């Protein structure tokens, strides 16, 4: 049985519901005992930028910052697409604790060994 889950998010502050839902699903997967990685593409790289989650929440009431804090506390990998971040002037130093830059090749490699959920 595959125990690896990759949540791929492409929405950020431009779509608070989908962005928060991606972080929520990563949290749920971790609580269910899965090996989770959160991979952020396109606008979702803003989710890994320090200070941007403070007021982001879904219509359901889920708060992105609280969910991300859970992922950070449990050392769930939070990967931000390097070219997506660079295009948005986000550097490695701008990222929240526990997040790092990653390439498309890394996404492909971890996805080959996991169930992938894309939002």
Q: Could you list the pLDDT tens digit for every one of the 119 residues in the chain? A: 679 999 999 999 899 999 999 999 999 999 999 999 999 999 999 999 998 888 888 888 888 999 999 999 999 999 999 999 999 999 999 999 999 999 999 999 999 999 999 98
* Length of the chain counted residue by residue: 119
Provide the 3-class DSSP secondary structure of residue 95. Answer: strand
- 89 phi and psi, to 5 degrees? 60, 30
Q: What is the CATH code for 4-118?
A: 3.40.1260.10
pLDDT score, position 117: 93
pLDDT at 52: 85
Domain ranges within the chain, ordered by starting residue:
4-118
Residues with Cβ within 8 Å of residue 37, at least 6 apart in sequence: 4, 5, 6, 7, 76, 77, 79, 110, 114
Burial degree of 79 (CB within 10 A; 0-12, 13-18, 19+):
buried
Hey, how many other C-beta atoms are within 10 angstroms of the C-beta on 19? 27
pLDDT given at position 110:
95
pLDDT value of residue 1: 65
User: Residue 94 and residue 110: Cα distance in Å, rounded?
Assistant: 24
What pLDDT sits at residue 11?
94
């Amino acid at each position: 049985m595959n125990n690896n889950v990759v949540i791929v998010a492409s929405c950020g502050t431009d779509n608070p519901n989908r962005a928060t839902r991606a972080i929520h699903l990563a949290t749920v997967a971790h609580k269910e005992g899965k090996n989770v990685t959160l991979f952020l593409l396109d606008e979702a790289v803003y989710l890994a930028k320090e200070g941007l989650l403070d007021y982001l929440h879904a219509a359901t009431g889920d708060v992105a910052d609280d969910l991300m804090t859970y992922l950070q506390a449990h050392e769930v990998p939070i990967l931000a697409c390097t070219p997506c971040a660079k295009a948005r002037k986000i550097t490695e130093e701008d990222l929240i604790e526990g997040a790092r830059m990653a390439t498309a090749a890394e996404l492909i490699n971890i996805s080959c060994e996991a169930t992938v959920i894309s939002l």
